[in-house]
């Protein structure tokens, strides 16, 4: 059985959304807003493939462009999370107790 480029996994919208869901679940287990940025990128690519249109059709055939858009969306998602959920400018983290104290 020969695999045609249109039958590849990276062209299926539901695969990208399943990856986004999986990364979102993993983010719950390992918090830090790192995997959530990748989940946002995968969800954006999945939605673009599901909606279709000229961009979705162009995306569906090229693994390189799909991967590049995934990287761009992931970076934008991570940066947005960092700006909204990260440490605020001028905020200092302080500790009240030391781990070595009894």
Res. 42: pLDDT tops 60 = yes
Distance CA 50, CA 100 (A): 54
Top-confidence range, 46-55, 65-74, 82-91: 65-74
Residue 83's pLDDT band, with cuts at 50, 70 and 90, is confident
Specify the pLDDT at position 97. 76
Structure letter (DSSP) for residue 10: G
Helices (H), the chain: 13-29, 35-51, 53-61, 63-85
The answer to whether 12 and 52 are in contact (CB under 8 A) is no
Specify the pLDDT at position 25. 93
Res. 98: pLDDT tops 90 = no
- Taking CA atoms, 74 is separated from 14, 36, 78, 101, 102, in Å, by 18, 8, 6, 41, 43
Specify the pLDDT at position 1. 47
Domain boundaries defined on the chain: 8-85
Query: CB within 8 A of 47, min separation 6: which ones?
Result: 13, 17
């Amino acid at each position: 059985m020969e695999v045609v480029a249109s039958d590849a996994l990276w062209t299926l919208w539901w695969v990208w959304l399943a990856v986004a869901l999986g990364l979102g679940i993993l983010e719950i287990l390992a918090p830090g807003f790192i995997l959530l940025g990748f989940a946002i990128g995968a969800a954006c690519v999945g939605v673009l493939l599901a909606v279709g249109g000229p961009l979705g059709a162009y995306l569906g055939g090229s693994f390189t462009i799909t991967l590049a858009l995934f990287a761009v969306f992931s970076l934008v998602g991570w940066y947005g999370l960092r700006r909204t959920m990260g440490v605020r400018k001028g905020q200092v983290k302080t500790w009240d107790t030391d781990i070595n104290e009894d």
